Amino acid sequence: MQMLDIYTDGGSRGNPGRSAIGVVIGDKEYREYIGETTNNVAEYKAVVFALKKAKHLLGKKGLENTKITVHLDSQLVASQLQGKYKILEPDLQSLFMEIWNLKFSFPYLEFCYIPREKNKKADRLVNEALDQQQLTIH
């Protein structure tokens, strides 16, 4: 059984505000500006992006033989994805359902809360995407 750690982060400058996601899958890094939204929506969108990208990178056979842990520094989102907290916001409910449906492709998938200081790469990617987007509008 292979092990794959994925680190995700979503962030907003303002809440809601300009937002971006950062994802680290193994040795690959991804960042993307996602427009105006809330911090929690950005956190969820980072997980959606990560699962879709992992599914693409690993393929069906790879997913069958890989235990994937998604690490995120949002305690709220991690707890919601673990089924510990209810999701009251409609914007988050639809993103949760998208993740729920993606989970069927991942036989060995878990979500793990980590402190922000253990998620520096994904956080850096969020800030790079936001900084880069700021440069393009000036």
- Per the structure, the count of domains in the chain is 1
Asked if residue 66 belongs to a domain, the reply is yes
Tokens at residue 96, please?
């949760």
Q: Which pLDDT does position 137 carry in this prediction?
A: 65
Confidence band for 23, pLDDT divided at 50, 70 and 90: very high
* Residue 138 within a domain: no
Whether 95 is covered by a domain: the verdict is yes
The confidence score (pLDDT) of residue 27 equals 96
Range of the domain at 30: 2-132
Residue 14 covered by a domain: yes
Is 17 part of a structural domain of the chain? Answer: yes
User: What's the confidence (pLDDT) of residue 6?
Assistant: 98
Query: 44 near 85, Cβ under 8 Å?
Result: no
Question: What's the order of all strands across the beta sheet hosting 66-72?
Answer: 28-37, 17-25, 2-14, 66-72, 109-113
In a domain, 32, yes or no: yes
Which pLDDT band holds residue 136 (cuts at 50, 70, 90)? confident
Q: Is position 137 within any domain?
A: no
**CATH value at residue 31:** 3.30.420.10
- pLDDT range class, residue 138, cuts 50, 70, 90: low
For residue 26, tell me if it sits in a domain: yes
Total-model pTM: 0.96
For residue 105, the model assigns a pLDDT of 96
CA distances (Å), origin 131, targets 9, 12, 15, 79, 97:
15, 12, 17, 29, 30
Q: What is the pLDDT of residues 84-111, one digit of tens each?
A: 999 999 999 999 999 999 999 999 999 9
Q: CB atoms < 10 A from the CB of 115, how many?
A: 8
Write down the pLDDT at residue 91: 92
Closest CA to 69 of 115, 25, 1, 5: 5
Taking Cα atoms as reference points, which of 97, 114, 106, 118 lies closest to residue 53?
A: 106
Mean local confidence (pLDDT), 132-138: 75
C-beta of residue 67 within 8 angstroms of C-beta of residue 1: yes
